[in-house]
Amino acid sequence: MARGRLRIYLGAAPGVGKTVAMLAEARRGVDRGTDVVVGILETHGRSFTSSAAEGLEVVPRRRVEHRGSTLTELDVDAVLARAPEVVLVDELAHTNAPGSARAKRWEDIEVLQSAGIDVISTVNIQHLESLNDVVESITGVLQRETVPDDIVRAADQIELVDMSPESLRRRMAHGNVYAADRIDAALTNYFRPGNLSALRELALLWLADRVDETLERYRASQGISAPWPTRERIVVALTGGEESETVLRRAGQIASRGAGSELLACHVTRSDGLVDADPEALATQRRLVKELGGVMHEVAGSDVAQSILDFARGANATQIVIGTSRGPVLSSLLRRGVGQQVARDAGDIDVHLVGHAVGRSDTLARPAYGLGRARRISGWLLATVGVAAVTLGLSLTRPWHQLPLEVLIFLTLTVATALVGGLLPALVCAVVSSLAINWFFTEPVGTLTIQSPENAVALLVFVVVAAAVASVVHRAARRRDIALRSERESRILAALSQSLLAEADPVPALLERARSTFAMTAAALVSRTNVREPWTVVAAAGDFAADDIGSASVRQTVDEQTELVLVGPVLPADEQRLVVAFTSHAASLLTRDRLVVEAARARGLARDSRSRTALLAAVSHDLRTPLAGIKAAVSSLRQQDVQFSPEDEAQLLESIEESSDRLGSLIGNLLDMSRIQTGTITAHLGELSLDDVVDAARSPLADGGRVRTRFDHDLPLLRADAGLLDRVLANVLENALRHSPGRREVVVQASRLGERVQVRVVDRGPGVSDAAKEQIFAPFQRGGDTPRGDGVGLGLAVARGLTELMDGTLWAEDTPGGGLTIAIDLPMAFDTEGATDSNDTRDVRDTSSSSSSSSAVASTVASTVASTAQGSRG
């Protein structure tokens, strides 16, 4: 039985029309006479989707009892018994109810396909396993139902159901996707324009990659090796030398000229695995490739030009960018360059040759190779004394051997000389051995004349073979030593990286490893700001003192002020690369430490600045209001031409008394706050329940009964200061109630987004223009945040300042349908399983029932001062 085909409708987000497109395809199939049934359809209460399914045969669902409730799932057995040609199975990534024969719906689909039934299904891009973490970082929502990418890739047909973010949000606002009570939350959370644009781009790019895969499979099946320029792909060949950055930037310029161009960097390494380029230079170029939006590839091969061409053809490249040296003319005549070979054999691929000056990187960078003095002496002894000894031995035993054996013995001596002393002694040994064979063992003996032509040829072949074998043996021994040295360096660097990652204080660990690696008595990092000042020891390993700097065997610059100092034996030249690697690690560690200190200092300064800004805003609002009230009341009482009734006088006096009390309370709190250094407010962060804080914030408000809450059932605890958050919510709620017409409710919504909790205060007032959304948070703003009536508010500027003290953010956005929404984003508590002691939380919360915002901040400041003072007494 032929396996059934799978067709998938892919969407960027819920509501784009995947299910409707699937149903439309089913109707077209029915019109063509195809036997189509609906296996399972999820309408989510959308009337348009339900109407699109009318008239189609539906297979009854299978009912599953789970924890006292009844769930419905796809009945695979019923579909198999019905045996249609095509079955519709909605929501490919769905997880089946516990107790089902298979865990996932895509597994049910595989069973149907195995039975020869074609399947049409739907899935959203956020449910693909490979994009799960990417989608979470964009939307803040973790998708728990996923489908492996291989399942979707294996589909016979994938069709994208596309819709612009604006159209989808308009469809959402019209109630065509979610119920009315979920529209506001959806539009302000998951269905933001930025989120939808990012998800749409993910879907388009993922499907474009699948199209490329299909195209490559077709080209491979048809044996097509010539590139098809479906899009510009630029391959840039890098050597790891100084010229590579110039070539790479030129390739980046070419790639930037066309939309959708791809930049692929290619570095060809030796097929024997030996290092042939500076690793640091390659790392720098790899970072540059990433900055230019390209991808770096490593290719192994003995023929560099052919390896570059093979890679370019495999990547379906349209252009190759490669450097060509402006070297001497004689060199170019004797040897064709890699760029010229690539240009000659590229065929239909365009080749750009980027000229550059000859540098040290144009030649193969090989590590220095040395045999040591003892081995060189031994090699020369074998080439001279060894030849004499072998000649003497063969002369004394001449009756027992002939010329072929004598030639082989001298050849063996030549090979041994190459192994011990290198190429030059071996070549000398070959020449001397040939002369010895000619003089002592070739007729006529005692002369350099050779009687037999065969012996002359044999002697000539001996010299050639001996030289060739010596060269091969020498090169093999050389590569072996290079490989061993590279292996040692790699092992040391790998161990260094692993150990430093595990160390709490990595700088001393780095120095200790440097000391043990190079067999030094001490290692240290020393620093000074200028040449006139003495050196100071930053960190050290071993017995090190500042006086040892002058006698150090190694002094390597780390940065402008710091040096790495090694005290001990003198290092050979081939160890210098390892010293540079240790120096680079030290520079990275010191830079990281400095950045951590600077970041902490910057955070402290920013926090101090926000605190002072919030307090100045409070003073500017709260001092002015009671003073104005006192002045107005006193001026009225002093008027001689106006006669006030006793009731009016009592009211004016009461106003003076209330304003004086409020002014005295504010001044008293400001005096208490002067005990805190630089006038900052310290946020005492703890685990809070948002329900408790909202209840405390709305209870003192006159219209607090108009506030309604809608929280997620699994909302975690917040990490915030109870008193500060109380004041933030009180100010925001007071502002929302003041601007909500009539008796309209103000809704407080809360949901989890990743590791944060977002609180949204939604009103249905007149709203604020886009240009004024930031202005309403400015101090002294005489606009939307200005209190009306008798209330004295610190304004939204204070609310934002106090929010930022708790590592949160606060901003304004439009309410769908009209109004203003104030969003407060705060960190989630680290441990959400339990709550902190309520007494600890209430200690820093203002319990005053006054609706005055000035009293609220004063109470917060007083609580902070009390908490700080209590901590210092403890």
C-alpha–C-alpha distance, residues 324 and 308, integer Å: 14
What is the mean pLDDT of each successive set of 10 residues along the chain, which is 874 residues long? Answer: 90 92 93 94 88 91 85 93 94 90 92 94 91 85 87 90 90 84 81 90 83 70 65 85 82 76 83 59 83 83 84 85 67 65 85 68 38 77 90 87 84 83 82 84 75 69 73 72 70 65 74 82 87 84 83 82 86 70 82 84 75 61 74 83 83 82 58 42 83 85 82 87 84 84 86 90 88 75 44 61 86 89 90 40 33 38 35 32
- Both tokens assigned to 292: 């230019």
Structure tokens at 39: 């296996």
Write the DSSP string, 461-505.
HHHHHHHHHHHHHHHHHHHHHHHHHHHHHHHHHHHHHHHHHH-SS
Per-residue 3-state assignment (H helix, E strand, C coil) for 776-843: HHCCCCCCCCCCCCCCCCCHHHHHHHHHHHCCCEEEEEECCCCCEEEEEEEEECCCCCCCCCHHHHHC
Contact present, 512 and 541 (Cβ < 8 Å)? yes
- The amino acid sitting at 349 is I
Neighbours of 685 (CB within 10 A): 18
Phi then psi dihedrals of residue 268, to 5 deg? -95, 120
Q: How many CB atoms sit inside 10 A of residue 781's CB?
A: 16
Q: Which amino acid is at 658?
A: E
pLDDT of residue 11: 92
| Sign of the four-CA dihedral 434, 440, 446, 449 | negative
Phi, psi at 210, each rounded to 5°: -65, -35
What is the pLDDT at residue 677? Answer: 38
What are the backbone dihedrals phi and psi of residue 713, each rounded to the nearest 5 degrees, phi first? -65, -25
Cα(385)–Cα(388) distance, integer angstroms:
5
Give the CA angle between residues 408, 413, 417 to the nearest 5°: 145
State how far the Cα of 547 lies from the Cα of 241, in Å rounded to an integer: 40
Sheet of strand 295-300: strand arrangement:
295-300, 262-269, 233-238, 319-325, 350-356
List residues bridging with 161 in a β-sheet. 11
The Cα 168–Cα 20 span in angstroms is 14
Task: Estimate to the nearest angstrom the gap between the alpha carbon of 517 and the chain centroid.
Answer: 33
**DSSP 8-class letter at 30:** H
Residue 324 phi/psi, 5-degree rounding, is -130, 130
Q: Which tokens hold the place of 805? A: 């003290």
Question: CA of 17: how far to CAs of 20, 123, 137, 517, in Å?
Answer: 5, 11, 25, 65
CA neighbor of 360 nearest in space, from 336, 322, 333, 325: 325
Looking at residue 339, its amino acid is: G
pLDDT at 760: 93
Q: Phi, psi at residue 160, to the nearest 5°?
A: -85, 125
- The whole-angstrom separation of Cα 69 and Cα 152 is 32
SS3 readout for 44-95: CCCHHHHHHCCCCEECCCEEEEECCEEEEECCHHHHHHHCCCEEEECCCCCE
Q: Residue 870: in which H helix or E strand, if any?
A: helix 853-873
The answer to whether 524 and 539 have CB atoms below 8 angstroms apart is yes
Give the closest residue to 10 by CA, choosing from 278, 201, 294, 203.
203
Rounded to 5°, the CA angle 725-728-734 comes to 135
How far is C-alpha 580 from the chain's CA centre? 28
> Please, what is the Cα angle at 480 between 474 and 486, to 5 degrees?
135
Q: Residue 92: is it exposed, middle or buried by C-beta count within 10 angstroms (0-12/13-18/19+)?
A: buried
Nearest Cα neighbor of 791 from 850, 745, 730, 852 is: 852
Q: What is the largest CA-CA distance in the chain?
A: 154
E strand or H helix that includes residue 295? strand 295-300
pLDDT of residue 761: 94
- Paired with 128 in beta bridges are 147
Nearest-angstrom CA–CA distance, 29 and 56? 11
Inter-residue contact 214 to 153 (CB < 8 Å): no
